[in-house]
Chains A and B, each alone.
Chain A
Amino acid sequence: MLMTDLLYARAQMGLSLAFHIVFAAAGVALPVLMVLSDWKGRRTGDADYQKLSQKLAKGTAILFAVGAVSGTVLSFELGLLWPEFMGQYGEVIGLPFSLEGVAFFTEAIFLGIYLYGRERVSPGMHMFSGVMVAVSGAASAFFVTLVNTFMNHPSGFTPSASGPVDVQPLVAMFSPGWQYQTAHVLLSCYQASAFAMAGIHAFVLLRHPGAAFHRKALSVALPLACVTALLQPVVGDLSAKHVAKAQPVKLAAMEGQFETERGAPLRLGGLPNVETGEVPYAVDIPKGLSILAFADPDAEVKGLNAFPRDEWPPVAKVHVAFQVMVGTGSAMALLALVTLGWRWRKKAWPHGRKMMWAWLLSGPLGVVAMEAGWLVTEWGRQPWIVRGVMRTAEAVTPVPHLAAPFWTFTAVYLFLGVTVVTLLVRQVAGTLPTRDGGLMGGEAHVD
């Protein structure tokens, strides 16, 4: 396929966001886990929880730093790749972006105090800083998701030939569906991070079943992982119901629904074919979609054919990404149910081999679901950058040769990703039972 500059611009933006999202999610969720173990350590006087908190603080420092620089890149890329979008709609979405900036500022300040100030501030102040990091991390994710909600369902302005007029920033900031999308995104941050952390400690416990430190670490990650995994399907369902009403073409692509019909089936899997208008290899659940989307087995679901062909998103990609998100989400919810059942019966978190294997294999699923869900919303909005008013192709920069920055940033992010993983692996390796104790001296002070 011939790559046009538009495709390169989209690929670069997509790559930057896909990369940044992982670090941003960790920046939202790891502080919570870090503060929880810090708090547990203080309450129980158990040195393992203190050590865990310090390890998590190091992880947060590394991930936050990469998140901060990749976030800086994104704030430039908004203009470098989509100058027309920013030139026209920058003022409409400036308010949530500004507030995100404030939250990010606060997060960085208190992270500095938390990481480097352990010996310089009182224990209460230290704990307060940790809480502030967690709160402002969540706030910045909240505000930036509001921008995405606006792009999906723009409101608070009147479009005109020269751009938006009668701009109402508050209305734009809380565009329809904001409550579902922000809840969905915030939960996904906590869920992805908690599953990844549980996976790491399950991995160690499979090799060193007696490692007390890692059992305790698991006991910090599992509650958050289980609760978010069970809440997420509920929130996701609310979000999908909203999409069904507000963005019917996106829902049609997600579900591979070509014809408008009453009592539409739910298609699991399959690969939509836009030429034939069929979804081969899918398993149909009769009336499933009508029930899920509109709570009525005979509700009418609009099909793609009800919309002009040049307003279709890439159907196959959206459908497959959606299936991946729902599939991984269901698997995680199931594992959470089993784990909580075990916890309820045995009064302890599971640590048997089978369960550890299950948690190890589910470790990456949270991140996979998060990326897939993000792809659903972004691909699902195409060909629009601001749905219904500005096409992505109208927003792109006139600068030529966009292949060059795309490949450069691909290489840079690959390199950064590999380095971060290596560094984190070494952090975990430092806690393995055989080498325990000797490596922890002098690490109370992160430097």
Chain B
Amino acid sequence: MSTDAILGFAVAGTFVLYALFGGADFGGGVWDLLASGPRKAEQRALIARAIGPVWEVNHIWLIVGLVLLFAGFPRAFAVLSVALHVPLTLLMLGIVFRGAAFTFRAYDTRGDAVQRKWGLVFSGASVIAPVLLGMCVGAVVSGTIRVEGRVVVSGFFASWLAPFSWAVGALALSLFAFLAAAYLTHEAPEPTLREDFRRRAMGAGVAVFLAALAVLLLAREGAPRVWEGLLGSPFAVALHAGTAVAAVASFALLWTRRFQWVRVAAAVQAGLIVLGWAASQYPYLVVPDVTLQGAAASPGVQRWLLVALGVGTAVVVPSLVLLFRVFRPAPLPGAGSKV
């Protein structure tokens, strides 16, 4: 495997991790917005408790992905920053408001009305950001971002506002909501709350299916490469088959209430979807004008980046394991004790 392929794989890997952790985090915000029924307050409290210690960590995967991209594939980063300037700027606003409002809600204890306002900012931004993220991904795979020499010639709007990109945005949103609900069934400290999120997980699972179907149908027109790539290689077929198996398994496990396995199946399903995206556009970073190899940094740089990646893994992974062990969900009496 060449170093640019390894680095490309590392970028894809960080996006998988960002989807599994950061995505679920966004999903938590979605369910905060949609909290309803007699246990509305308990639902929100559970979400806040699950996200609280880890949200900053969960979003660092995005930064890691960005840094690997601009250090390993600087030309691709430059192209994407120009072509997707508008949605990325909006995404940044979403990320700023989401993180700030979540923290302010926890520390601004002037009463319910103020907390509700911060909560609304937090959850509203949690809905908008994944859609924008998905739209950017849609634009990248669609093949509508065109580059001549070093200049982006396809404008600043058309690629990410196409129907296909909207469908990918909807897929990202429903996938993140599904992940969050699936994780929360495991985190919930009591059965009724667990049932709330079981129902939500199943609903979101259906939404994922519908959005994926829409993406598929629109791909024929909107992203021909993805359409052809779907059945293009044995590897792609295996990936999609794996995704399907994981999706069916998530549903079956939800149905039979095997919650500790639900989150595993849901994570596998989401991870395979993101990998499926990466595989469908390989060897392109921006379809169809920027390839992995064409955008790659010089080999010397790539070797040092791999060293940095090794150092990072050695430092971060044990720390992360510690973090998640410390905050392993434990059945607690009374979920509503938190602010």
Contact = CB atoms under 8 A, between A and B. Distances in A.
Interface of A: 58, 61-62, 64-66, 68-73, 75-80, 83-84, 86-95, 97-102, 104-106, 108-113, 115-117, 120-121, 132, 165, 167-170, 397-399, 405, 408, 412, 416, 419, 423, 427, 447
Contacts of B34: none
B335 interface: no
Given A76-B92, A84-B78, A398-B82, A94 B316 contact: no
Contacts of B72: 91, 94
B323 to A, nearest CB: 5
Given A65-B103, A98-B309, A399-B82, 12 more contacts: A65-B102, A66-B103, A76-B66, A80-B89, A83-B82, A87-B77, A97-B67, A98-B68, A99-B311, A108-B60, A120-B326, A447-B339
B107 A58 contact: yes
A402 to B, nearest CB: 9
A169 B100 contact: no
A445 to B, nearest CB: 9
A108 B339 contact: no
B301 A94 contact: yes
Contact of A90 (B77, B92, B104, B108): B77
Contact of B326 (A64, A111, A117): A117
Contact of B81 (A83, A101, A110): A83
B56 A113 contact: no
B64 to A, nearest CB: 5
* The 7 A-B residue pairs with the shortest CB-CB distance in the complex, in nearest-first order: A94-B71, A87-B78, A79-B81, A90-B74, A91-B297, A65-B103, A90-B70
Contacts of B92: 72-73, 76-77
Mostly, the A contact residues are: helix
A416 B108 CA distance: 13
Contacts of B66: 75-76
A95 to B, nearest CB: 5
Given A79-B70, A102-B315, A68 B93 contact: no
Contacts of A101: 60, 63-64, 67, 312
B319 interface: yes
B297 to A, nearest CB: 3
Interface residues of B, number: 67
A398 B99 contact: no
Contacts of B308: 95, 98-99, 102
A96 to B, nearest CB: 9
A266 B85 CA distance: 46
Contacts of A399: 82, 85-86, 156
B82 A105 contact: no
Given A108-B60, A109-B316, A416 B107 contact: no
Contact of B297 (A73, A94, A121, A170): A94
A65 B99 contact: yes
A112 B53 contact: yes
Contacts of B70: 78-79, 86, 90, 94, 97
B59 interface: yes
Most buried by A among B57, B68, B320: B57
Given A86-B77, A91-B297, A121-B326, A109 B309 contact: no
B106 interface: yes
B338 interface: yes
B300 interface: yes
B82 A169 contact: no
Contacts of B63: 71-72, 75, 101, 104
A108 B74 contact: no
A105 B316 contact: yes
B80 interface: yes
Nearest to B299: A167
Contacts of A113: 53, 322-323, 326
Given A69-B100, A90-B77, A423-B107, A80 B57 contact: no
Contacts of B64: 101, 105
A169 B77 contact: no
A112 B304 contact: no
A187 B86 CA distance: 38
B71 A98 contact: yes
A80 B88 contact: yes
Contacts of A110: 319
A91 to B, nearest CB: 3
Contact of A167 (B68, B300, B316): B300
A169 to B, nearest CB: 4
Given A68-B56, A88-B74, A397 B81 contact: yes
Nearest to A172: B301
Contacts of B53: 112-113, 115-117
Contacts of B235: none
A80 B103 contact: no
A86 B78 contact: yes
Contacts of A447: 52, 106, 338-339
A397 B96 contact: no
A416 B150 CA distance: 37
B256 interface: no
Interface in B61-120: 62-64, 66-68, 70-72, 74-75, 77-82, 85-86, 88-89, 91-93, 95-100, 102-104, 106-108
Most buried by B among A61, A105, A111, A419: A105
A351 B316 CA distance: 44
B298 A167 contact: yes
Given A101-B63, A104-B60, A69 B85 contact: no
B161 interface: no
